[in-house]
């Protein structure tokens, strides 16, 4: 797993609380030319009826999931997590990855016996790292 510094940004989107946890800097081995695949893993939760933020139990489950998946995906810089967004009943983990096949295999291996988790996975091409630029702009971080 990659060891580095993260920022936390709190705000509101459509009058609902939003938390964005982002990486200050991606490792040197991770670049747009080598990691052009954007992986989004989303977890929908019930949450508080007013704020739509996760309950303690939801937060604990999502934290356990992150602890399980992160070392597998970041091994040998296969992927790099750059942001985690929590807002309106959903947590979204965003990674840049080398390729789809090895990423899918790693996820399958990591989740093997986990059973049904309330997650959706989506992978798209993002060679310009547009998703990262948006996160940095939305949180007023330098880029």
pLDDT recorded at residue 112 = 81
User: Out of 7-11, 73-77, 111-115, which region has the weakest mean confidence (pLDDT)?
Assistant: 111-115
pLDDT digits (tens, 9 = 90+) for 78-101: 999 999 999 999 999 999 999 999
Taking CB atoms within 8 Å and a gap of at least 24, the contacts of 124-127 are 124/37, 124/38, 124/40, 125/36, 125/37, 125/38, 126/36, 126/37, 126/38, 126/96, 127/32, 127/33, 127/36
Q: What share of the chain is helix, strand, coil (3-state, %, to 5)?
A: 30, 35, 35
pLDDT digits (tens, 9 = 90+) for 21-39: 999 889 889 999 999 999 9
pLDDT recorded at residue 97 = 98
pLDDT recorded at residue 3 = 60
Task: Enter the tokens of residue 143.
Answer: 């880029």
Q: What is the pTM of this model?
A: 0.93
């Amino acid at each position: 797993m990659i060891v580095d510094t993260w920022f936390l940004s709190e705000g509101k989107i459509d009058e609902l609380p939003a938390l964005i946890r982002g990486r200050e800097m991606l490792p040197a081995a991770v670049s747009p030319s080598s990691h052009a695949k954007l992986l989004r893993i989303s977890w929908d939760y019930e949450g508080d009826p007013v704020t739509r933020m996760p309950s303690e139990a939801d937060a604990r489950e999502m934290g356990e999931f992150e602890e399980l998946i992160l070392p597998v995906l970041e091994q040998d810089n296969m992927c790099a997590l750059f942001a985690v967004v929590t807002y309106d009943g959903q947590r979204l983990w965003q990674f840049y990855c080398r390729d789809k096949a090895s990423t899918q295999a790693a996820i399958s291996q990591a989740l093997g016996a986990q059973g049904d988790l309330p997650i959706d996975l989506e992978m798209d091409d993002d060679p310009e790292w547009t998703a990262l630029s948006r996160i940095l702009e939305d949180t007023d971080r330098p880029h």
